[in-house]
Structure 1
Amino acid sequence: MADLIPPSGRVHWIGTGLSTGSGLGLVCAETTTVLWGRTVARAESCLARLGLLGQAEPRAYDPDSLTHQLAPGDVVVSMLPADHHPALARIALANSAHLVCSSYVSPGLAAHATAAAERGCVLLTEVGLDPGIDHLLAHHLVDAARGAVGDRPAVAHFGSYCGSNPAVPNAFRYQFSWAPRGVLTALLTPARTIQGGLPRRFARPWEAVDQLTVAGETFETYPNRDSLPFVATYGLPATWRLESFARGTLRLAGWSEAWKPVFAELAEADEARLTALAARLAARYPTTADDHDRVVMSVRLSVHTDDGEDWSGEWTLDATGDAREAATPRLVSVPLACAVLEVVAGRVPPGLHQATDDPEAVRGWLTFLATHGVTATFHGDGEV
């Protein structure tokens, strides 16, 4: 691994959609920031929406323009869809710059991991809400459990669930804000979990709906993507036999019943029908200016050792949007800002990373979040 290319203190934030929230202001306050939008006008509009006019330079984005503006040590922040990240990584690495994004690691982005490490560049991923905050909470639970019971042979149960839903439930138990097609596409993405100690695959995740009680309230959950690689990501000891392990989406009680007609269409939908269905549902159940979102997250771990010792813990987060800002963009952009500032400060080593697994860094990131109004509550054995 090469030495870290010293960060320059200049940040290029790419994307002005609704997920670009108040975290951008935290970055602007500590760095020289360029906000790249589809047009200069869109970048200016985003800055005005966030009360940041004059605090970042608005630019019209295209890959060539970004290439000509990048200098060694600059940080590129992508709020573009995940399929843009491999190309952005190529641009960043070619200019000895670093890249930060909130999305999952794609195979195309992972292909740049070796080059990043060899060139002294950071590729910091999965640092939003989910993935992002959930990773920090999971690492804390595993670290706390290992501190309490060690790596003795044990049976373990792990579950991590998050969802953004209407603060005031409607009959449909959901409202669409942005990327309505993405919501439906996620339901068509096969998922894998561990149940009963064995891997389980679900071609249609909505057929694996379960109930989950969080702080006395009952929700519905379903598995999201492939959970199994995160066993290694979270560093669970090989001596712990996983009875259950799942990462998934959390919905309001009654969601699966309300969505039965949607599931019936999804089962038969081709690309055109999927696009039409998304447009129809978004028009029928939109998020208006009077509506507020509510984000609920639960990350829990329990361990029972073979010699009879038990440990359990759960982190919960429950945040509601208000007239100033929706909860979801705040909970995506604030941890993203924390990650960007960690890179700017030179505290992230070269190479590809999924948030952070360093216990001291996890505590530092959680402190940053709490300082800026993103708080989670711990319930369980021991103290935090």
Structure 2
Amino acid sequence: MADLIPPTGRVHWVGVGRATGSGLGLVCDEAATVLWGRTVARAEARLEELGLAGGAEPRALAPGALARELVPGDVVVAMLPAAGHPALAEVALAGEAHLVCPGYAAPGLSPHARRAAERGSVLLTEVGLAPGVDHLFAHDLVGAARAALGDRPAVAHFASHHGSGKDRPDAFRHHFDRAPHEALTALLTPARVIAEGLPRRVARPWEEVRRLTVGGETFEAHPAGDSLPFVTTYGLPATWRLESFARGTLRPSGWNAAWKPVLAELAEADAAGVAALAERLAAVHPAHDADRDRVVMSVRLGVHTDDGTDWAGEWSLDTVGDARESATARLVSVPLACAVLEVAAGRVPPGLHQATDDPEAVRRWLTFLTARGIVATFRGDGAV
């Protein structure tokens, strides 16, 4: 691995969509920041909306413009849709810069891992809400359990869920503040989990809904995506036999019943049918300016050692948006800002990373979030 290219302290935040929230202001407070939008006017408008007029230099993301402004050690923040992240990684690596993005590393960024390490660049991924905050919670739980129990043989259960929706759900239990097609496609994507000690494929995630209590309130939860790679990501000891391991989505109580007609149609739809269903749902259940979103997350770990010792812990958070900013924008952009400032300070080594698994960094990042109003609750010592 090459030595880290020294960060310059200059940040290029690329993208001005809804997830570009108050975290941008935290970056502007600490680093010389350039905000890249489709046009200068759009970048200026987003700065004005966030109360940051004059806090960053607005730029238009014309072809080649970012590459011309990069100098070695700058930090590029990828706030474009995920499909645009590999191209930004190419630009960053060519300019000997660093890249931070809130989305998943695979598959678009993984091929750049070796190149980044060899050049001394950082590719820091999965540092938003989920993925992001959930990783911090998981690493903290695994570290706490190992500190209490060591790595002696044990059976372990792990579950990580989060969801967003209206703070006061209507009868449909959902509104669409972004393209419904994305949500429907996610439901059609098979999930992989560990259940009863064995890997299991769930073809239709909505058929695996179960009740889950978080903070005294009952939700509905179902698996989402491929959970299995995260067994390695979270560093669970090989001596712990995983009885269950799942990452998934939280829904308001009553979601499954309210969505039965939608799910029945979804199960039989082809690509054109999914598109038509998405168009209808967008028209009937749109988000409104007066809506306030709510984000709930729960990450749990339970361990029972072969010699009879139990340990359990849960991190949870419950955040509601306000007139200034949605909960989702806050919970994506503030953790992202923490990650950007860590890279700008030279605290992240070269190569590709999924958030951080360093115990000291995990505590530092969680402290950063708490100090900026993202308050999570820990319940442990068998309280879960």
Q: What's the TM-score, normalizing by structure 1?
A: 0.98
Q: Secondary structure at the match of 2:68?
A: helix
Q: Do 2:209 and 2:221's aligned partners in 1 also have CA atoms closer than 8 Å?
A: yes
Any idea what the Cα deviations from partners look like across 1:289-340, whole Å, max 9, x if unmatched?
A: 1110110000000000000000000011001111121101000000000000
Match in the other structure for 1:347: 347
Match in the other structure for 1:317: 317
C-alpha displacement at 1:180, in angstroms?
Answer: 2.6
C-alpha displacement at 1:63, in angstroms?
Answer: 4.0
RMSD of aligned Cα (Å): 1.2
> Are residues 1:47 and 2:41 paired?
no
Any idea what the Cα deviations from partners look like across 1:67-118, whole Å, max 9, x if unmatched?
A: 1111111111011111111111111101100000000112221000000000
Letter in 2 for 1:103: G
Q: Do 1:5 and 1:72's aligned partners in 2 also have CA atoms closer than 8 Å?
A: yes
- Aligned pair in 2 of structure 1 residues 238, 9: CA closer, same or farther (>3 Å)? same
1: CA distance between counterparts of 2:283 and 2:26? 34
Match in the other structure for 1:127: 127
> Are residues 1:296 and 2:299 paired?
no
Structure 1 residues 136-145 or 106-115, which shifts more?
A: 106-115
Structure 1, unmatched stretches of 5+, are: none
Q: Secondary structure at the match of 2:264?
A: helix
> Are residues 1:245 and 2:232 paired?
no
Q: Secondary structure at the match of 1:267?
A: helix
Letter in 1 for 2:305: T
Match in the other structure for 1:257: 257
Equivalent pairs counted in the alignment come to: 383
Match in the other structure for 2:276: 276
Q: Secondary structure at the match of 2:242?
A: strand
> Are residues 1:94 and 2:94 paired?
yes
Match in the other structure for 1:80: 80
> Are residues 1:176 and 2:176 paired?
yes
Match in the other structure for 1:198: 198
Q: Secondary structure at the match of 1:157?
A: strand
Trace 1:225-236 onto structure 2 (pairs within 5 A).
Answer: 225-236=225-236
C-alpha displacement at 1:44, in angstroms?
Answer: 1.2
Letter in 1 for 2:180: P
2: CA distance between counterparts of 1:308 and 1:368? 37
Match in the other structure for 2:8: 8
Letter in 2 for 1:327: A
Structure 1 residues 31-40 or 308-317, which shifts more?
A: 31-40
C-alpha displacement at 1:182, in angstroms?
Answer: 1.4
Match in the other structure for 1:329: 329
C-alpha displacement at 1:269, in angstroms?
Answer: 2.8
Q: What's the TM-score, normalizing by structure 2?
A: 0.98
Q: Secondary structure at the match of 2:3?
A: coil
2: CA distance between counterparts of 1:209 and 1:255? 10
1: CA distance between counterparts of 2:211 and 2:63? 45
2: CA distance between counterparts of 1:198 and 1:220? 23
> Are residues 1:116 and 2:116 paired?
yes
Q: Do 1:82 and 1:106's aligned partners in 2 also have CA atoms closer than 8 Å?
A: no
1: CA distance between counterparts of 2:15 and 2:279? 22
Any idea what the Cα deviations from partners look like across 1:324-370, whole Å, max 9, x if unmatched?
A: 21101000000000000000000000000000000000000000000
Match in the other structure for 1:212: 212
Structure 1 residues 57-66 or 193-202, which shifts more?
A: 57-66
Letter in 2 for 1:339: A
2: CA distance between counterparts of 1:22 and 1:282? 27
Q: Secondary structure at the match of 2:362?
A: helix
Structure 1 residues 80-89 or 276-285, which shifts more?
A: 276-285
- Aligned pair in 2 of structure 1 residues 203, 382: CA closer, same or farther (>3 Å)? closer
Any idea what the Cα deviations from partners look like across 1:189-232, whole Å, max 9, x if unmatched?
A: 11100111111101221111111011111101111110000000
Letter in 2 for 1:30: E
Q: Taking every aligned residue pair, what percent have the same amino acid on both sides? A: 72
C-alpha displacement at 1:266, in angstroms?
Answer: 1.8
- Aligned pair in 2 of structure 1 residues 45, 203: CA closer, same or farther (>3 Å)? same
Divergent runs of 4+, >4 A: none
2: CA distance between counterparts of 1:30 and 1:270? 49
Letter in 2 for 1:64: G
